Amino acid sequence: MLLKYLLLIILGYLIGSVPFSFIIAKLMGKIDIRNHGSGNSGATNVLRTLGTKAGLVAFFLDFLKGFILALLSKKLLGMEGAVLASTFAVIGHCYPFTLGFKGGKGVATCGGTIFALYPIIGLILIIIQFLIIFTTRIVSLASIITAISFPIVSFILKTPASFNLYALLLGAFIVYKHKANIKRLLSGTESKFKK
Write the pLDDT tens digit of every residue in 65-102.
999 999 999 998 899 999 999 999 999 999 999 999 99
pLDDT at 76: 87
pLDDT at 195: 54
158 has pLDDT over 90:
yes
pLDDT at 3: 87
Domain boundaries of the chain, sorted by first residue: 2-187
pLDDT tens digit string along 175-188?
999 999 999 999 99
Q: Do the Cβ atoms of 58 and 47 come closer than 8 Å?
A: yes
Mention every residue, 6+ apart, whose C-beta is less than 8 A from residue 125.
111, 114, 146, 149, 150, 153
**pTM score over 0.85:** yes
pLDDT at 167: 97
pLDDT tens digit string along 114-139?
999 999 999 999 999 999 999 999 98
CA torsion 126-129-132-137 (nearest 10°) is -120
pLDDT at 130: 93
Measured in whole angstroms, the distance separating CA 23 from the mean position of its chain's CA atoms is 17
